[in-house]
């Protein structure tokens, strides 16, 4: 469990993280989203005690990171996979990390096996491809068999197999009851992996909710109705206070309404339906709505 209370970080005159209060619970994958520069990495660094918060606290299982006796056995984190001494092999790096935290040396081979880095771990870290470094970084995070894992953009640079593997890894870590906190810009990936979402915008918490709820709340989640009497039904739905749009000869799209209510209204009016279904917004769409106002470094619109 990670608990943040009023966590803030100021760089110069701008707040990179602004009064962030939230709990990341065990047994679930919590996706950490937000536009570039929103403060995700800064938040993670503060949780790990690498950056000192301007205000507020970050606790892991109730204690600050630096109070944990063998931190790697409690928290595994991948921040920047490239942040390795280029002349040291991944294997040597893991051996040193294991030694510093009283982790059995045998774990090194185990985690290298888990991430699928065999002989490559004997190469100088500088000679690894981005995807291989990413796997090495994940191996390092798993080294101490930690209760809490934190990944900053773990699928960055991974091939499709690797992406799928990370998805399964996060799922199984959460299923084992661990706390999994992962940032990503890949919405399709997050939609498949995350149970819960935390969205930051300009350092502020925009949203802290279950994925299912985020999708359901999106204005793009709608009820699609196909009926030979589309015009009639549209009138009835509007009369019932439902926002509805006719999208084709026989098709209506109603938003902000439960599918049951659409069915009931049609039944009351005696209108035959050929299809009644929910069309879920993608996370990408829901996310775009949420952050439209807080994109810091978005591309300028043409003509502006």
Partner 1 sequence: MRQVIGAEWAKLWSVRSTWWCLAGLTALMVLSALALGGATATDLMREGVRSARFAVSEPVVSATTFAQFALVALAMLVITSEYASGSVRSTLQATPIRGRMLAAKALVVLPVMFVAGVLSGALATAAGYVVLSLDTFGGHAALPLGEVTLDLLRVGVFFALVAVMTLGVGTAMRSAAGTLTVVFMLLMGLPLMLLMAGGPAAVEVSLRMPLFAGLAFMESTDNMTGGPIPYPAGEGLAWLLVWTAAALAAGYAVLRGRDA
Ligand X SMILES: Nc1ncnc2c1ncn2[C@@H]1O[C@H](COP(=O)(O)OP(=O)(O)OP(=O)(O)O)[C@@H](O)[C@H]1O
Which residues contact partner 1 by CB under 8 A? 45, 48-52, 65-66, 68, 71-72, 75, 77, 79-80, 82-89, 92-93, 95-97, 99-102, 140
CB of 166 to ligand X, least distance (A): 17
Question: Taking CB under 6 A as the rule, does residue 38 contact ligand X?
Answer: yes
Structure tokens at 259: 């599918």
By beta-carbon proximity to partner 1, the closer residue of 102 and 118 is 102
Question: Taking CB under 6 A as the rule, does residue 233 contact ligand X?
Answer: no
Separation of alpha carbons 100 and 58, rounded Å = 23
Question: Taking CB under 6 A as the rule, does residue 41 contact ligand X?
Answer: yes
CB of 89 to partner 1, least distance (A): 7
Site pattern 147..186 for Mg ion (x: CB under 5 A): ----------------------------------------
Does the CA dihedral 42-47-51-55 come out positive or negative?
A: positive
140: partner contacted, choices partner 1, ligand X, Mg ion, none (Cβ within 5-8 A by kind): partner 1
Q: Which has the closest alpha carbon to 131: 77, 179, 90, 87?
A: 90
By beta-carbon proximity to ligand X, the closer residue of 37 and 56 is 37
Instruction: Decide: 76 and 181 in contact? Cβ < 8 Å.
Output: no
CB of 108 to ligand X, least distance (A): 29
Structure tokens at 210: 């279950």
CB atoms within 10 A of CB 205: 19
Question: Taking CB under 5 A as the rule, does residue 41 contact Mg ion?
Answer: yes
Question: Taking CB under 6 A as the rule, does residue 42 contact ligand X?
Answer: yes
Question: Taking CB under 6 A as the rule, does residue 21 contact ligand X?
Answer: no
Q: Which has the closest alpha carbon to 214: 109, 284, 134, 277?
A: 284
182, HSE (Cβ side, Cα atoms, 13 Å): 34
Residue 24 burial (CB < 10 Å; 0-12/13-18/19+)?
Answer: buried
Residues 6+ apart with CB under 8 A from 100: 72
Question: Taking CB under 6 A as the rule, does residue 40 contact ligand X?
Answer: yes
Structure tokens at 265: 């209204």
Question: Taking CB under 6 A as the rule, does residue 24 contact ligand X?
Answer: no
Q: What does the binding site for ligand X look like in residue numbers (CB under 6 A)?
A: 11, 16, 34, 36-42
């Amino acid at each position: 469990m990670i608990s943040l209370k009023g966590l803030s970080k100021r760089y110069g005159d701008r707040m990179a993280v602004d009064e962030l209060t939230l709990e990341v619970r065990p047994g679930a994958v919590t996706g950490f989203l937000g536009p570039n520069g929103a403060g995700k990495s800064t938040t993670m660094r503060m949780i790990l005690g690498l950056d000192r918060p301007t205000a507020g606290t970050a606790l892991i299982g109730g204690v600050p990171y630096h109070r944990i006796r063998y931190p790697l056995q409690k928290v595994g984190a991948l921040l920047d996979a490239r942040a390795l001494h280029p002349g040291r092999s991944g294997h040597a790096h893991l051996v040193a990390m294991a030694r510093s935290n009283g982790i059995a040396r045998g774990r090194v081979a185990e985690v290298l096996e888990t991430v699928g880095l065999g002989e490559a771990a004997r190469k100088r870290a500088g000679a690894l491809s981005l995807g291989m470094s990413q796997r090495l970084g994940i191996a390092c995070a798993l080294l101490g068999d930690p209760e809490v894992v934190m990944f900053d953009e773990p699928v960055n640079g991974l091939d499709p197999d690797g992406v799928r593997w990370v998805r399964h890894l996060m799922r199984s870590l959460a299923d084992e009851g661990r706390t999994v906190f992962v940032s990503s810009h890949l919405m399709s990936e997050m939609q498949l992996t995350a149970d819960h979402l935390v969205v930051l915008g300009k350092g502020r918490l925009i949203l802290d909710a279950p994925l299912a709820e985020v999708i359901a709340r999106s204005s793009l989640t709608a009820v699609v109705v196909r009926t030979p009497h589309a015009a009639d039904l549209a009138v009835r739905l509007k009369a019932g206070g439902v926002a509805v749009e006719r999208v084709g000869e026989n098709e209506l799209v109603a938003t902000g309404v439960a599918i049951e209510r659409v069915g009931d209204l049609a039944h009351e009016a005696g209108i035959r339906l050929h299809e009644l279904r929910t069309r879920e917004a993608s996370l990408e769409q829901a996310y775009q709505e949420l952050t439209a106002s807080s994109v810091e470094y978005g591309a300028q619109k043409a003509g502006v």
